[in-house]
Structure 1
Amino acid sequence: MNLKNNKKGVLRGSFTIQSKILAVCLSLALGITMVSLILSYYTEINSYRKIAESYLTQYIRFADQNFDNMIGEARKISLSIAVSNDMIYPILNNELTSEVSYDRFLQKKRITNFLSGLMTQKEYIADIMIVTRNGSVYQASQDLIVRKDLQEEDIQIALRSERAGIIYDRKKNSVIYCWPIYYKNEIKATGMINLKYDFLVDAYNMEPLRTSTVIITIPEDTVFYSNRGDEKETAHILQMIGKKEKDTGYIKINGEKQYYIRNKSGTGFMSISVLIPYRVLSKDAEKLKLKFIIIGFCAAAAAVICSVFLSRKLCRNLKQLSNNMEEIRQGNMEVRVSVQTRDEIGILADTFNRMMDQIAKLMIEIKEKEIVKKEAEQKFLDAQIEPHFLYNSINSIQYVAHMRGEEEIERVAIALSELFRSVLSNKREFITLWEEKEYIDNYILIERFKYTRDFSLIWDVEEELWAYQIPKLLLQPIVENALIHGIADKEEGVINIKVYRDENAVVVKILDNGKGIARNRLQELQEGIYKNKKSRFRRVGISNVFERIKLLFGEEYGGNIYSYQNTFTCIELTLPLYVEQYL
């Protein structure tokens, strides 16, 4: 239960690999989708705007062309009248006399019909007139022109004009195209074409420009047409546009972004300035935005679905590996991962299975070593046959020897009693090298009583190593073996115990100058077969000492035997320099 809760706590505090892959996939997919949509959106918006700009520019040019065509037609009519000498000159001659006759009536009628013919199918022309210096009026329409009408300001300006041009009366919205008519190098009459103002500006009032500001100016910056009622605002707009170098572009008027178009008519008679609000150019943006939002939503949904599918597929084997590891974490060491893919997860699963097989093998080895260790410890404990009874018996022997004056027996009994006391009272598994020396010295004192030949025990130890911790009674079996099988039958036998540091290890050598070991016997000992059973100390053989070291410190530590028959035997032990971590 604790393991499950712990796992849940770990998952709450961190993201799983699947969630990370999902997050990365979503981020990339959504990021690319959003960037693409935004770029496409603004590209489309710019495209729509440019199309609108182009369309409106073309329409304005069309309207200008239409205006120019009407003015051009008026000029053509004036030229037609000017070159019709047979029609015009007679009335100019008649102007020299005031005689009223039937011929003059017919002549006037012929002129009227001629002018009417020129005006046919020209809806933008209200009237065509010829006014002589004597005040005679010849006109195409049926509207009667009286002398009072000739006093109008625009008519008077036209009559005084010495060149062809357009007269515009802003108050009446009257547009007159006039030209002088010469006879014998003198101005004898004035031709006038009265243009319909509404027809001239009608093209600028149609749908494409109804939401725009249109201002038409004629020479001397006179405002010919403006759909803005405020004259000051109109003047301000003309001033702002006039500062621009380009004929098209963007400008801010009263804080609103607008697209301006400035165009001069082909005839040079007028200039047009148009302001189109940016929102008008971008009116399709909202529809386009909605379309892109729907596309973005669908793309995002597809990205989420694909990301979830891919992340699950990618992490399926990894999740299985994680679940199998959790089972092992809960104690099921028999679990193995069954992933057949040849990718990194498959390699990881195969490595994991190999590792678990190795762990299982190591666990078996550890169990076997534990059994061996327990057997060795049991044998050591079995060797202590009623130790307290023996200890008390030895004390009794010591007391009797003392009472009878047997000093040598008393010394041996004291040494043996001290050895038993030390072993029984010291429950620690590790003791100092100095304490081990005391055990061995007591043992040697006891053995000297048994042997008739004298022998020596020499300690060669680096001073700081006397406090070095070693397993209790580690050296005693080796010293016992050297004494019994090495120097027991030798005169002046020597056992030399040397302890020194060698890099990160402590080396202990027990060397004797005894009879040595035959080669085949040495091989048996090196294989761990040889075991001595002569005493309770000898029951723990040399091979057991080596095995004990490996069990305590690991396979890199242990011992070795070197010997040459009839010359020497050396038992070498290798121990870790720092044993605190094993205590």
Structure 2
Amino acid sequence: MRSYLSPKWYLDLPIQRKLLLWFAPLLLATIAITGVYSYRIASNEIVSKMSVEQVSSARQAIDHLDYIAQDALDISDYLYLTPEIQVMLKSDSASGSYINNDSILMINRLMVTRPYFQFLTIYSPRFEPIQFNNKGLSSAIPFEEYRDKFDYDGFLTRKKIDEWSIEVPNHSKSIFYGDTKNKLLLTKILKNDLTLKPEGVLILGIDEKDIRRSYSTPNDKTTIIVMNSDGHILSDTNGFWVGKSIGELPYFTKPIDQPNLINPAIEKPDWVFSHSQSSLTGWHVLVLQPREDLLSQLNRIKWITALILCLTFLLSLIVSWSAAAVITKPMKTILSSMKKFQKGDFSQQVSIQGKDEIGQLGTGYNIMVRRITQLIDDVYTFEIKQRQAELKVLQSQINPHFLYNTLNTIAWTAQKNGEHTVAEMIYSLSGIFQISLSQGRDYIELKEEMKLAEHYLFLQKMRYREKLSYEMELHPELAGFKIPKLLIQPLIENAIVHGLEPLTDDSGFIQVTVVPSEDHPGMIQIEITDNGVGMPESKLRAIQEQAFVDLPYPTNQNESFALLNIMNRIRLFYGTEALMDMDSVENFGTRVRLLLPHSKR
């Protein structure tokens, strides 16, 4: 079963449809690739730009958080070194020490000038808890409850004197009664400045919403998460993740418990993110935005590309169809003329303007028609002349049987009278005549050709007597091989006339061998060698150029005529597979070799 896109299906299509089949998809593919490439470039640019903005946002958030954290640390250090606080830290728990009004006013000024500080509490077993609350919505738990709930004694033994934590009401231990807000707490150990012994803690609370406002961004799709080095979330853009661990966040390919594992674990195909860490607090800031939201603004490129594809497809149909018509119209004219020419109208000519390929095709077609017409006329004239010549030959031919019988009668009479040599010569002449006519056949077997050559050599032997001797060899397997008749005899005649006749004292020798070629497998080698006068190298080269190069006729009737005649005959029958070469050395002799393909009989 033939497939829809088989080569034959394509070959059977008209040129107009072929052009449409190539032009439209190529144009559509170009536009589609351009659109996809543009979309990718734009998306990469947007993601890259957003990454830079996120790095900037993370840096700004860290700067704001560092400012608040540094301010909190500065206030705690300032209060720690305040003489009134040191006096209270050094007092006896039974003395009932309390903070004086000047210190209260001073702390109130500090708290009022920093609205993001919600409360300040100082716990110590040497005095009652000191509380300051900017919003006045809650009160701190008693010292003893704080001591049990938050491991006060264990905290004093730590090497680190300050710690940041997050308090989420109803989800973690709380220092304040009646407070429902998330608070970021700085807990700092207060020491006796003389003995450096821990005597209490200072707790400074910041409303998590105030922290959130310090790094909020106008883009509601951007999420910023602040977490400490232990992976606990201190603040986030929506306040949803406050107090939870980093492992609960949905942005990672696998659960993690340390902020240092954020970069390799985050879902990069879904999120564009930036991750930075504060050198002051060690807090980590993670800024995220969904990649899909960033790229949603590029949907317009998709729709524009799809619209352009549709319009281009329609336009390509019109343009390709019109362009194909320009090409196919003159071709249809030529095709119509060719059909009429095939039916025998040899007067056909087409009129196509221009010198482009179509114009050249039309001009070539007209020239071809004229030449074919001329060739047909020439062939017709030649056939008439050939038939007339054949008729004349037939009319002038003597009946071969009459000639054979006459020669045989003469030979019989000579033999009867004792003229045996004359009889043999007449028999040889009769054999030459019989084989050369061969009942009108153009090709004869090698054994017949060799028999004809033997008759000819015998007659020449009778003429030259002791001056000529010969030797003939025919491989038995080649006896039935057919060749054009009179192929060997002219070469022998050439050797006698031009090679042996000029000899004065020496006796001439001709060797004729027909064997399979050893140098050219699959070829038959016919070789005629003589020990005649040979020829100079210049004369040999002239004969080779005249006989073996593509010259139609030799310039004069010399030894190259027979060679050219034989060369043309074997080329007509065997084609370019047949070869002929000639070697000659002056005063030593000449060798002519024919190589005929064994496959053609």
TM, length-normalised to structure 2: 0.51
Offset from partner CA, 1:224-250 (integer Å, 9 cap, x none) = 457469869528959755799886467
Q: 1:134 aligns with which of 111, 120, 127?
A: 127
Match of 1:195 in 2: 206
> What is the root-mean-square deviation in Å for CA atoms of aligned residues?
5.6
Write the distance in 2 (CA, Å) between the matches of 1:180 and 1:65. Answer: 25
Offset from partner CA, 1:342-371 (integer Å, 9 cap, x none) = 334333322221121223334555666788
Match of 2:438 in 1: 466
- Residue 135 (structure 1) shift: 0.8
Structure 1 unaligned spans of 5+: 1-9, 381-428, 443-455, 471-499, 507-575
Write the distance in 1 (CA, Å) between the matches of 2:104 and 2:201. Answer: 15
Are 1:124 and 2:116 counterparts? Answer: yes
- Residue 25 (structure 1) shift: 3.8
Match of 1:263 in 2: 276
Instruction: Give the letter aligned to residue 127 of structure 1.
Output: F
Are 1:337 and 2:350 counterparts? Answer: yes
Match of 1:445 in 2: none
- SS of the counterpart of 2:370? helix
Q: Aligned in 2, Cα 1:222/1:42: closer, same or farther, shift over 3 Å?
A: closer
Write the distance in 2 (CA, Å) between the matches of 1:199 and 1:155. Answer: 30
Write the distance in 1 (CA, Å) between the matches of 2:394 and 2:43. Answer: 87
Match of 2:35 in 1: 37
Superposed, 1:231-246 pairs within 5 Å as 234=248, 240=255
Q: Aligned in 2, Cα 1:24/1:355: closer, same or farther, shift over 3 Å?
A: same
Write the distance in 2 (CA, Å) between the matches of 1:144 and 1:250. Answer: 42
Q: Aligned in 2, Cα 1:146/1:14: closer, same or farther, shift over 3 Å?
A: closer
Instruction: Give the letter aligned to residue 217 of structure 1.
Output: M
Superposed, 1:307-346 pairs within 5 Å as 307-346=320-359
Match of 1:403 in 2: none
- Residue 83 (structure 1) shift: 5.8
Q: 2:65 aligns with which of 54, 67, 83?
A: 67
Match of 1:15 in 2: 13
- SS of the counterpart of 1:461? helix
Contact (CA 8 Å) 1:92, 1:188: kept in 2 or not? yes
Match of 2:543 in 1: none
Contact (CA 8 Å) 2:123, 2:201: kept in 1 or not? yes
Match of 1:175 in 2: 184
Contact (CA 8 Å) 1:251, 1:259: kept in 2 or not? no
Contact (CA 8 Å) 1:178, 1:192: kept in 2 or not? yes
Instruction: Give the letter aligned to residue 291 of structure 1.
Output: I
Write the distance in 1 (CA, Å) between the matches of 2:253 and 2:371. Answer: 92
- SS of the counterpart of 1:177? strand
Q: Aligned in 2, Cα 1:261/1:18: closer, same or farther, shift over 3 Å?
A: same
Instruction: Give the letter aligned to residue 440 of structure 2.
Output: Y
- Residue 307 (structure 1) shift: 4.1
Contact (CA 8 Å) 2:227, 2:235: kept in 1 or not? yes
Contact (CA 8 Å) 1:137, 1:145: kept in 2 or not? no
Contact (CA 8 Å) 1:34, 1:296: kept in 2 or not? yes
Q: 1:185 aligns with which of 186, 194, 203?
A: 194
- SS of the counterpart of 2:118? strand
Superposed, 1:514-553 pairs within 5 Å as none
Instruction: Give the letter aligned to residue 69 of structure 1.
Output: Y
Write the distance in 1 (CA, Å) between the matches of 2:320 and 2:194. Answer: 93
Contact (CA 8 Å) 1:241, 1:260: kept in 2 or not? no
- Residue 139 (structure 1) shift: 2.0
Write the distance in 1 (CA, Å) between the matches of 2:164 and 2:258. Answer: 27
Match of 2:53 in 1: 55
Write the distance in 1 (CA, Å) between the matches of 2:144 and 2:323. Answer: 92
Q: Aligned in 2, Cα 1:241/1:202: closer, same or farther, shift over 3 Å?
A: farther
Instruction: Give the letter aligned to residue 126 of structure 1.
Output: Q
Match of 1:217 in 2: 227
Q: 137-146 or 240-249, which moves further after superposition?
A: 240-249
TM, length-normalised to structure 1: 0.52
Contact (CA 8 Å) 2:54, 2:273: kept in 1 or not? no
Write the distance in 2 (CA, Å) between the matches of 1:56 and 1:278. Answer: 13
Write the distance in 1 (CA, Å) between the matches of 2:193 and 2:283. Answer: 33
- Residue 126 (structure 1) shift: 1.2
Superposed, 1:351-500 pairs within 5 Å as 351-364=364-377, 437=400, 461-463=433-435, 465-468=437-440
- Residue 177 (structure 1) shift: 1.8
Q: Aligned in 2, Cα 1:364/1:284: closer, same or farther, shift over 3 Å?
A: same
Write the distance in 2 (CA, Å) between the matches of 1:238 and 1:30. Answer: 39
- Residue 142 (structure 1) shift: 6.4
Q: Aligned in 2, Cα 1:113/1:333: closer, same or farther, shift over 3 Å?
A: farther
Q: Aligned in 2, Cα 1:344/1:137: closer, same or farther, shift over 3 Å?
A: same
Write the distance in 2 (CA, Å) between the matches of 1:197 and 1:462. Answer: 131
Aligned length: 406
Write the distance in 2 (CA, Å) between the matches of 1:324 and 1:157. Answer: 108
Match of 1:528 in 2: none
Structure 2 unaligned spans of 5+: 1-7, 175-181, 406-425, 443-483, 491-568, 574-601
Write the distance in 2 (CA, Å) between the matches of 1:69 and 1:150. Answer: 30
Percent identical across equivalent pairs? 15
